[in-house]
Amino acid sequence: MKKLLCVFFALLFLAGCAPKTPKAQRDIFAMDTLMSLQLWGEDADAAAEDVEAMLHHLEARWSVTREDSITAGLNRGIRPEMTPQELALLSEVEALYRRTGGAFNPYLGEVSRLWGFYDKNYRVPDAQECFLAIQAGMLDMGAALKGYAGDRAVEILEELDVERAILNLGGNIQTYGHKPGGEPWKIGIADPIRGGTLGVVAVEGTMSIVTSGSYQRYFEQDGVRYHHIMDGATGAPADSGLVSVTVISRSGLTADALSTALFVMGLEEAAAFWRQSEDFEAVFVLADGTVYATAGANLSGCAYQEISS
Ligand code: ADP
Ligand code: MG
């Protein structure tokens, strides 16, 4: 009887817990970075397939280097054919450019190219070259496309029978649905100075968690580090005293564009921007390792100063 009871309780326990291992798991190389998808639910495989196709499609449409992309067309001054959805993305990106006062600037493509971030032929240009590169106004969706892909992925998951998912889109994390037992998703934030994990943010349901940092892509010359997030005012890497910014938002596009923008703004301007916004939370790491987090960021595992409204 005792044995039977044990089996009964074991079965009850199993029934109460959805399986931990995802039904579908896949690694993808897209948008110049590694991505990985983990999905649970009846349609997990079909959804993974559709998300992968969507990622490759977005990359082909908005690549700065592919001759036949919308981006390349616009940058050549021709009028590429666009779907209403693609036009809507361009106008949302334009709105984020205005909302951030140009800190998120999708027209710095020539600046990134000039510094060698396109072909890894790195060099430090002079101020005149930087000025002319800003004037070129070349479209580059690099700071927003992975975030937007997160939003599109959510649409796909909503249409299919997917219970929950966690997508790592090249460092941009997109959660979907709820973990069993109402447990929050716990997302580790990289320690930009010492490596490893700095702390953990807990999020509920469908959310985007995006980090922009100077430790991600950079080159060094004469002992100086030059990273890939550009300041549209100078045409040079942003020098705001921050080493990383993580943004948590329901919108992937917003999280991605704002993580780049807040990095360019620096802590004080970014905190003021947060106070007048209602659609995101953020975690900031300064060059000396100090951590700041907005009141709703749900950060744990490290000491930090809270930014209050
Ligand atoms: P990552 O793409 O490495 O995750 P970001 O989202 O911060 O990081 O985007 C940085 C990319 O966006 C750069 O590689 C460049 O293509 C472009 N970019 C650089 N500076 C800016 C800026 N101030 N605003 C918008 N896009 C930028
Ligand atoms: Mg970004």
CA 55 to chain centre: 14
Distance, in Å, from the CA atom of 126 to the CA atom of 239, rounded to the nearest integer, reads 16
* Nearest residue to 246 (alpha-carbon basis) of 298, 205, 288, 194: 298
Ligand 1 site, CB within 6 A? 104-106, 108, 112, 117, 140, 142-143, 171, 212, 216-217, 228-230, 232, 256, 259-260, 264
Residue 77 lies in a domain: no
Decide if pLDDT at 54 tops 60: yes
Residue 233 lies in a domain: yes
- Which ligand 1 atom is the nearest neighbour of the CA of 171? 4
One-letter amino acid identity for 43? D
Tokens encoding 308: 């209050």
Residue 164 lies in a domain: yes
The larger pLDDT score, comparing residue 17 to residue 20, is at 20
Rounded alpha-carbon distances, angstroms, from residue 45 to 51, 57, 169, 308: 10, 18, 17, 43
What is the mean predicted confidence (pLDDT) over 166-186? 95
Whole domain around residue 210: which residue ranges?
12-72+82-307
Phi and psi torsions of 83, nearest 5°: -80, 160
Q: How confident is the model at residue 46 (pLDDT cuts 50, 70, 90)?
A: very high
Contact 40, 27 (CB under 8 A): no
DSSP state of 183: P
Residue 281 burial (CB < 10 Å; 0-12/13-18/19+)? Answer: buried
DSSP state of 220: E
- Which ligand 1 atom is the nearest neighbour of the CA of 170? 4
Distance, in Å, from the CA atom of 189 to the CA atom of 107, rounded to the nearest integer, reads 28
Q: What share of the chain is helix, strand, coil (3-state, %, to 5)?
A: 35, 25, 35
| Segment 112-161, tens digit of pLDDT | 999 999 999 999 999 999 999 999 999 999 999 999 999 999 999 999 99
Decide if pLDDT at 18 tops 90: no
- Which ligand 1 atom is the nearest neighbour of the CA of 238? 23
- Which ligand 1 atom is the nearest neighbour of the CA of 140? 16
Ligand approaching nearest to the C-alpha of 106 = 1
Decide if pLDDT at 165 tops 60: yes
DSSP state of 113: H
Best residue among 94, 229, 259, 262 to mutate for probing ligand 1's pocket (most ligand atoms within 8 Å of CB) is 229
CATH code of the domain covering residue 171: 3.10.520.10
Closest residue by Cα to atom 5, ligand 1, is 143
Contacts of 134 (CB under 8 A, 6+ apart): 108, 110, 111, 232, 235
Residue 2 lies in a domain: no
Residue 7 lies in a domain: no
Residue 243 lies in a domain: yes
Mean per-residue pLDDT over the chain, rounded: 94
Residue 3 lies in a domain: no
Q: 3-class SS at 167? A: strand
Per the structure, the count of domains in the chain is 1
| Segment 77-102, tens digit of pLDDT | 999 999 999 999 999 999 999 999 99
In the prediction, which pLDDT does 182 show?
87
**Separation of CA 276 and ligand 1 centre (Å):** 23
Best residue among 59, 145, 216, 230 to mutate for probing ligand 1's pocket (most ligand atoms within 8 Å of CB) is 230
**Separation of CA 200 and ligand 1 centre (Å):** 24
Residue 4 lies in a domain: no
Ligand approaching nearest to the C-alpha of 265 = 1
User: Pairing state of beta strands 197-203 and 299-300?
Assistant: antiparallel
